[in-house]
């Protein structure tokens, strides 16, 4: 079984399975430590209905000196729903905790960001149906399916 197949299996049905949850806990601690800088961050959100915290590691994309987070699982990811419910006001941790504003990026700006993200995040490649080395134009066809948020200062 290939890496892609195993990784897709970890997120069967668009939800993290047991292996993905274990991996996310480990990577979340690594991200929070700041050892990898802003390449890997831990996103801290809260479920608006239950109040349950959700902490998970995310690889950041960097385009034109701006940083972004991308949902490799698309529109249905829990963290995306939590961020939208919080109007983008969340916390990230990469060495130290920071309150940030995540602003959703227009679909037209997403292709170059998603391409950069795939080049930086090997674990996301099995979930996004475009090769990381494909021309940016090919990412336009799937851009609406994958939310992208710019990381900014709290407003």
| In the chain, where the domains are located | 3-153
* Architecture in CATH of 3-153: Roll (2.30)
Q: Please say if the pLDDT value at position 97 is more than 80.
A: yes
Determine if the pTM surpasses 0.75: yes
Sign of the alpha-carbon dihedral angle for 88, 89, 91, 94: positive
Cα(16)–Cα(23) distance, rounded to whole angstroms?
10
| pLDDT (tens digit per residue) in 1-56 | 554 555 455 565 556 667 666 766 666 666 677 776 787 999 999 999 999 999 99
Which token pair is 145? 């399916």
Q: Give, to the nearest 10 degrees, the angle between helix 3-10 and helix 18-33.
A: 100
Q: Please say if the pLDDT value at position 78 is more than 60.
A: yes
Exposure on the CB side of residue 68, measured as CA atoms within 13 A: 30
Question: How much is the pLDDT for 34?
Answer: 74
Cα(109)–Cα(61) distance, rounded to whole angstroms?
13
């Amino acid at each position: 079984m290939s890496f892609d197949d195993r990784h897709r299996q970890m997120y069967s049905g668009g939800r993290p399975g047991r292996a993905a949850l274990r991996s996310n806990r480990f990577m979340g601690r690594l991200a929070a430590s700041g050892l990898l800088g802003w390449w890997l961050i831990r996103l801290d959100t809260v479920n608006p209905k239950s109040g349950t915290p959700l902490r998970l590691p995310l690889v950041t994309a960097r385009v034109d000196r701006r940083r972004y987070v991308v949902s490799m699982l698309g529109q249905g990811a829990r963290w995306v729903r939590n961020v939208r419910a919080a109007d983008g006001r969340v916390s990230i941790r990469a060495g130290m905790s920071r309150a940030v504003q995540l602003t959703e990026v227009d679909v037209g700006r997403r292709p170059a960001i998603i391409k950069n993200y795939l080049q930086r995040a090997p674990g996301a490649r099995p979930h996004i149906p475009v090769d990381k080395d494909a021309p940016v134009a090919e990412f336009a066809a799937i851009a609406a399916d994958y939310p992208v948020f710019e990381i900014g200062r709290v407003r």
